[in-house]
């Protein structure tokens, strides 16, 4: 069993669904940890893993995700959690004009007990005009992946996992575990 550290149940459900499909065991360590404010999702993810590794005994992974909106110069990016809580989707929609493209980025960091390894995944798309859908979480109701008509919140977990930033990062990690072995 490999530990996944996060306070977010939705992230865990998406990750467990994919790990189950690959017959890989995962344990959810439900924990809110402090994140630094930094310019990149990579730095935040690595810094969190380094801090947690100083007192966790077993290998684990975590991930940090950001929504980068092109017309806002990449905002909220590393501030996605704060903006989601403080503004919410309705106010984010009000900030936007005709140019609506955006990218989700997930950076997963794995600590094998000695070293850190990072795996990233991106999903391109655009911000919808209104919120749509009841599934998922966070910005899912306002994000339409490129080539799709539905928002992520109108998809099932399995459908989101076929294309998402998170599952792309996770698939690279799963490949790494297959090559290097489970801890």
* CB 45, CB 63: distance < 8 Å: yes
Rounded least distance, CB 9 to ligand ITT, Å:
9
Residue 23 or residue 72: which is nearer to ligand ITT going by CB? 72
Residue 1 CB neighbours (<10 A):
10
Q: Is 168 in the site for ligand ITT (CB under 6 A)?
A: no
Cite the DSSP H helix spans in 22-87: 41-53, 80-86
* CB 152, CB 143: distance < 8 Å: yes
* CB 123, CB 173: distance < 8 Å: no
| Residue of 17, 81, 120, 135 interacting with ligand ITT (CB under 6 A) | 81
Q: What are 92's strand-pairing partners?
A: none
* CB 109, CB 118: distance < 8 Å: yes
Which of 64, 97, 98, 140 is catalytic? The answer is 64
| Residue 66 buriedness (CB in 10 A; 0-12 / 13-18 / 19+) | buried
Q: Which of residues 99-118 bind ligand ITT (CB under 6 A)?
A: none
Rounded least distance, CB 85 to ligand ITT, Å:
7
Residue nearest to ligand ITT (CB): 138
Helix (H) or strand (E) holding 167: helix 165-180
Q: Is 8 in the site for ligand ITT (CB under 6 A)?
A: yes
Q: Pattern 134-153, binding to ligand ITT, x per CB under 6 A? A: --xxxxx-----------x-
Interacting span for ligand ITT (CB under 6 A) from 16-24, 80-88, 109-117, 126-134: 80-88
Residue ranges that bind ligand ITT, judged by CB under 6 A = 6-8, 11, 32, 64-65, 80-81, 84, 136-140, 152, 166
Catalytic residues: 64
């Amino acid at each position: 069993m490999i530990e996944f550290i996060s306070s977010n149940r939705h992230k865990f459900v998406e990750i467990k669904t994919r790990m189950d499909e690959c017959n890989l065991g995962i344990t959810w360590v439900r924990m809110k940890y402090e994140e630094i404010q930094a310019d990149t999702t990579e730095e935040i993810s690595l810094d969190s893993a380094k801090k947690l590794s100083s007192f966790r005994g077993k290998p684990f992974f975590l991930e940090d995700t950001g929504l980068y909106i092109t017309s806002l110069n990449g905002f909220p990016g590393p501030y996605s959690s704060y903006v989601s809580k403080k503004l919410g989707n309705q106010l984010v929609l009000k900030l936007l004009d005709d140019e609506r493209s955006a990218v989700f980025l997930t950076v997963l960091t794995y600590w094998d007990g000695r070293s850190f390894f990072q795996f990233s995944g991106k999903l391109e798309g655009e911000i919808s005009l209104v919120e749509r859908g009841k599934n998922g979480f966070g910005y899912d109701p306002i994000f339409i992946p490129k080539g799709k008509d539905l928002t992520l919140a109108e998809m099932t977990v399995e459908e989101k996992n076929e294309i998402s930033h998170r599952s792309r990062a996770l698939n690279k990690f799963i490949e790494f575990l297959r090559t290097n072995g489970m801890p």
